[in-house]
Amino acid sequence: MNFSSFGTKFGGSSSIGNLMEDLGNALRENPDMIFMGGGNPAHLPAVEHVFQQHLETLLANPAERKALFGIYQQPQGDTEFRHAVARFLHKQFGWPVTAANIAVSNGSQPAFFILYNLLAGAMPDGSHKSIHLPLAPEYLGYKDVGISEGFFTATRPSIELLDDQLFKYHVDFSHLQVDETSAAFCVSRPTNPTGNVLTDSEMAHLDELARQHNMPLIIDGAYGLPFPGIIFSEASCHWNDNTVLVLSLSKLGLPGARTGIVVAAEELVQAFANANTIVSLACGNLGPAIGKQLLENDQILTLSRQHVAPYYRQAVVQTVDWLRAALQGLPCHIHKPEGAIFLWLWFKDLPIGSQQLYERLKAKGVLVVPGDGFFVGIDDAWPHKHECIRVSYAQNPASVKRGIELIAEEVRSAYAGR
């Protein structure tokens, strides 16, 4: 089969594709596999009960049931849902947003595919622009979404060593370089994979630089503010007319509903809706239907603050304690957990690469994610890129504890040369 350039790139293997394929195959290969690699959120009974109640209400109403299963959404997304999102954001933050500033997508992954390619790549004047990631490592799902090559650039972070085996990445503004080839900044906040939360000061500085260079600042808020609010440090929700904020219902507990939300200037939202119609025709109805009910009376914040964030806050403290005990005596640093549902482990001077460590752990029955693929846009031979892994602590505590024991066992073997 002769594929086009697009077909060769997108029809071949990719980092995110390999991850999702591994998640699908692992359970078939080993029914007892411990999943500490994917981004699936925890199953929280109290939250799922609320979802069930809302779904039952929808199904009991003939008109709602018809809209849920038998009607296409508008290209920009369900009108009532977009109005509900706009009212919520205006009420919470005073932002001057209306439904015209809101678009809906089938999850945030396709939203980024469209947003990135709207802004970067081959330009009408023959030039080429790229998306700049001010803080790498970043979400590996970005890595392969660019239609053209050379789609991402990134700034290597500065590393602050902290007490208690912790460390933290910071945006290294002294080396952050943008020019006429930069189309936009993008940051995830909290950062996937590290759980880093850029400070309000860092966000303000990035916003200022973005405005100076006449380009937008894109914020991936899949784990952050205002919902699901999986943030353990002090942080304010950021948006203005030069910001593109991308939200999701997935980490609240609805990954199967595939609902992404884009908050941006009207011109960009309209372009996004036009492109999204070509790619997806229309978005699914389930997420927006439940989302409208969650936004009423700010129930989405109640779930986030009383159930989702507290669960992960407690889980991360316990998981870090287990890691410190299991990895005692090894040159391991844990990125300071400030949010999201992952921990980022740095094994300094690891004798084997993170990809090989991943393969060894998989053979032992625990699935993590090797760190190499997260350094999107950093193409130099930085050894640090091959010394890190991402682990999820969203599974049941017994599985997480056993997974940590297996990780520690294999890492000790690696340093011992076995």
**What's the pLDDT at 17?**
73
CB 159 within 8 A of CB 334: no
**What's the pLDDT at 23?**
67
In sequence order, what are the residues at sequence separation of 6 or more whose Cβ sits closer than 8 angstroms to the Cβ of residue 182?
A: 129, 130, 131, 132, 153, 213, 215
Q: Residue 341: which of 36, 27, 137 has the closest Cα?
A: 36
Other CB atoms within 10 A of residue 212 CB: 9
Q: Which amino acid is at 387?
A: E
Tell me the pairing of strands 128-133 and 152-154: parallel
Radius of gyration of the chain (CA): 21
**What's the pLDDT at 418?**
60
**What's the pLDDT at 370?**
95
**What's the pLDDT at 149?**
86
Q: pLDDT tens, position by position, for the chain (418 residues)?
A: 888 888 887 887 776 776 677 666 766 677 788 999 888 899 999 999 999 999 999 999 999 999 889 989 888 999 999 999 999 999 999 999 999 999 999 999 999 999 999 999 999 999 999 999 999 999 999 988 999 888 999 999 999 999 999 999 999 999 998 989 999 999 999 999 999 999 999 999 999 999 999 999 999 999 999 999 999 999 999 999 999 999 999 999 999 999 999 999 999 999 999 999 999 988 999 999 999 999 988 999 999 999 999 999 999 999 999 999 999 999 999 999 999 999 999 999 999 999 999 999 999 999 999 999 999 999 878 999 999 999 999 999 999 999 999 999 999 999 998 6
In sequence order, what are the residues at sequence separation of 6 or more whose Cβ sits closer than 8 angstroms to the Cβ of residue 96?
A: 90
Other CB atoms within 10 A of residue 128 CB: 14
Residue 364 tokens read as 């032992």
Tell me which DSSP letter residue 231 carries. B
> pTM of this prediction?
0.94
In sequence order, what are the residues at sequence separation of 6 or more whose Cβ sits closer than 8 angstroms to the Cβ of residue 238?
A: 200, 203, 207, 219, 245
What's the N-to-C CA distance of the chain in angstroms? 44
Beta strands in 155-281 (DSSP E): 158-161, 166-170, 182-188, 217-220, 243-248, 260-263
CA distances from 309 to 92, 219, 251, 348 (A): 18, 20, 10, 31
**φ and ψ of 269, to 5 deg:** -60, -40
**DSSP string spanning 24-92?**
HHHHHH-TT-EE-SS-PPP--HHHHHHHHHHHHHHHHSHHHHHHHHH-PPPTT--HHHHHHHHHHHHHH
**What's the pLDDT at 380?**
76
Euclidean distance between CA atoms 242 and 215, whole angstroms: 8
List domains and CATH numbers for the chain: 5-46+302-415 (3.90.1150.10), 72-297 (3.40.640.10)
**What's the pLDDT at 2?**
82
CB 395 within 8 A of CB 36: yes
**What's the pLDDT at 14?**
73
**What's the pLDDT at 344?**
98
CB 36 within 8 A of CB 391: yes
Q: Buried b vs exposed e over 385-395: b needs ≥16 C-beta within 10 Å?
A: bbbbbbbbbbb
Euclidean distance between CA atoms 151 and 143, whole angstroms: 9
**What's the pLDDT at 10?**
83
